[in-house]
Amino acid sequence: MRMRLRSAAAALLLLASGMASVAGAATPTTVPDTIEQRVAACIACHGREGATTNAGYFPRLAGKPAGYLFNQLVSFRDGRRFNSDMTYMVQHLSDDYLREMAEYFAGLDLPYPPISPLSDAKPEVLERGRVLALQGDAERRLPACVQCHGAALTGVQPATPGLLGLPRLYVASQLGAWLTNDRHAVAPDCMAEVGRRMWTSDVNAVASWLATQPMPANTKAVASLPAPMPIACGGTSK
């Protein structure tokens, strides 16, 4: 009799402990609703706090103009820019949500890492890139990068990005996407016009030269350009 009572008691204890485990497992984990938590997925590719190096592929997010970052997120969501991972993450997010993310990264004031040298960049290629970036090519109606992205190439508020501190592969791929009509913006699509006037050798030259340039002391986007843009530009969001 005692053995049966002990066995029954043990069975009840096991049952009770099992039910407690199930109840504990059913308790949902509380995730803090903070902007840091919301942008955690971005860090996997863009680096901690969105500050990548100029090596690799993924672009830096920290310190970019908020309007530019917002426009790009909207373009990924609405199909004007194409990247399956980016589209998957933002396709169901509202404008307000995307704007909050953009403002978070734009507000990060982080130092830029040292520039990684490009051992395979030939001097004549770098020189061609320098000329295109600083002077353009009037014969082919190619404006200089500095005419739209600022004299220091650090961008212009509210929505023109800086071009320094970015991976060569990323810059080349984006220029190539404009050239091949695989990336779009709201009309007038100025970069599509520029891209169609470039040769593939120009793309490599500009991307290589930009990737080798040191950051200026002031890395922030300027408030405005000293002269009107040489080409009409609509932006990337509706």
**Best mean pLDDT range from 160-174, 183-197, 223-237:** 160-174
What percent of the chain is predicted at pLDDT more than 90? 73
Q: Are residues 138 and 204 in the same domain?
A: yes
Answer yes or no: is 65 within a domain.
Answer: yes
Is 134 inside any structural domain?
yes
Residue closest to 222 by CA, chosen among 78, 85, 65? 65
Would you put residue 141 in left (φ > 0), alpha (ψ -120 to 50) or beta? left
Q: What's the token pair of residue 56?
A: 């690799």
Model pLDDT for residues 2-25, shown as the tens digit of each residue: 444 445 444 444 445 554 455 555
Q: Are both 87 and 40 inside the same structural domain? A: yes
Are 52 and 97 contained in the same domain?
yes
Average pLDDT over the chain reads 88
Q: Is residue 152 part of a domain?
A: yes
pLDDT tens, residue by residue, 106-153: 999 999 988 888 889 999 999 999 999 999 999 999 999 999 999 999
Asked if residue 223 belongs to a domain, the reply is: no
* Residue 134 and residue 98 share a domain: no
- Report the distance separating Cα 197 and Cα 4, nearest Å: 90
- What is the DSSP code (8-state) at residue 221? P
Would you say residue 238 lies in a domain? no
Considering its fold, how many domains does the chain have in total?
2
Has residue 226 been placed in a domain?
A: no
Supply the range of the domain harboring residue 58. Answer: 35-106
pTM value is: 0.84
pLDDT attached to residue 119:
87
**Mean pLDDT (whole number) for 185-206:** 94
Side-chain half-sphere of 125: how many Cα atoms within 13 Å? Answer: 19
CATH number for the domain spanning 82: value is 1.10.760.10
